[in-house]
């Protein structure tokens, strides 16, 4: 896999300095603001790190195409720059794809994993190529090409972080069967199906998704809260 150099990501770091770190990663075409509904509850328990992926929001947009490895390497560089050795990770859509790459590439750095409305492989790569050509002038296009070329299925069995998969019951982009494949491929993973939710389940059903994230991450956050 050929990867570009990491870029400096626009980010926000909030919450108690002594708390465990939780990284939130966005979907295609969104910014770190997509987690606004979850942020207040999460930053009570975590040192919350949100960021704009390359080509999105305030982050640079180097010439594409990109790979999922490029996007993951950006996150590792961000963590290194902030002096963060260990974190939990929650990503939605392409953010979840980045999470799978990270947890398999650097398993020693990630404590728990939440994968929302995502897939290890999407069919019809030509559709992503068409979308990339339509928006060629933007960094969004490079991320479309990362999705086009992505196949993380061979990495799933090597993920050791306890993993929660979240799927929107009515998601047309990554239907629940994608989440089922991820759950069945990652050792001891679990799946939570969110009713009345499509692809941006955290926006459509914020309370249900926030509760699911907090429940899964409780073993990381609760011991430190009791100190």
Contact of 71 with 5, CB cutoff 8 Å? no
pTM confidence score? 0.90
Residue 208: other Cβ atoms inside 10 A: 17
Of 18, 59, 41, 93, nearest in space to 212 by CA: 41
- Taking only the tens place, the pLDDT of each residue in 58-75 is 999 998 889 999 999 999
pLDDT category of residue 215 using cuts at 50, 70 and 90: very high
Say what the pLDDT of residue 125 is.
57
Say what the pLDDT of residue 135 is.
44
Please classify residue 18 by burial: count the beta carbons closer than 10 Å to its beta carbon, then call 0-12 exposed, 13-18 middle and 19+ buried.
exposed
Please classify residue 106 by burial: count the beta carbons closer than 10 Å to its beta carbon, then call 0-12 exposed, 13-18 middle and 19+ buried.
middle
Domains of the chain in start order, with CATH, are: 11-225 (3.40.50.1820)
Contact of 46 with 111, CB cutoff 8 Å? no
Say what the pLDDT of residue 144 is.
83
Q: How far apart are CA 31 and CA 2, in angstroms?
A: 26
What value does the mean pLDDT of the chain take? 91
The DSSP call for residue 195 is T
Q: Which residue has the tokens 């859509």?
A: 93
- Taking only the tens place, the pLDDT of each residue in 108-167 is 999 999 999 999 998 665 554 554 455 444 867 788 888 888 999 999 999 999 999 999
- Taking only the tens place, the pLDDT of each residue in 83-104 is 999 999 999 999 999 999 999 9
């Amino acid at each position: 896999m050929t990867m570009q150099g990491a870029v400096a990501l626009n980010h926000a770091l909030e919450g108690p300095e002594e708390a465990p770190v939780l990284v939130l990663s966005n979907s295609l075409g969104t910014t770190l603001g997509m987690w606004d509904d979850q942020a207040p509850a999460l930053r009570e328990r975590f040192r919350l790190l949100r960021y704009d992926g390359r080509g999105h929001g305030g982050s640079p947009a180097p010439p594409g195409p990109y790979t999922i490895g490029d996007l993951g390497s950006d996150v590792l560089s961000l963590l290194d720059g902030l002096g963060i050795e260990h974190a939990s990770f929650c990503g939605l859509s392409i953010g979840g794809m980045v999470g799978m790459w990270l947890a398999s590439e650097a398993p020693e750095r990630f404590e728990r994993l939440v994968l929302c409305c995502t897939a290890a492989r999407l069919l019809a790569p030509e559709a992503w190529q068409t979308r990339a050509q339509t928006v060629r002038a933007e960094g969004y296009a490079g991320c479309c090409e990362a999705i086009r070329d992505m196949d993380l299925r061979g990495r799933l069995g090597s993920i050791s972080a306890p993993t929660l998969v979240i799927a929107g019951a009515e998601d047309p982009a990554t239907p629940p069967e994608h989440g089922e494949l991820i759950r069945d491929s990652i050792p001891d993973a679990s799946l939570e199906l969110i009713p009345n939710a499509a692809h941006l389940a955290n926006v459509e059903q914020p309370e249900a998704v926030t509760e699911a994230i907090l429940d899964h991450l409780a073993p990381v956050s609760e011991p430190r809260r009791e100190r």
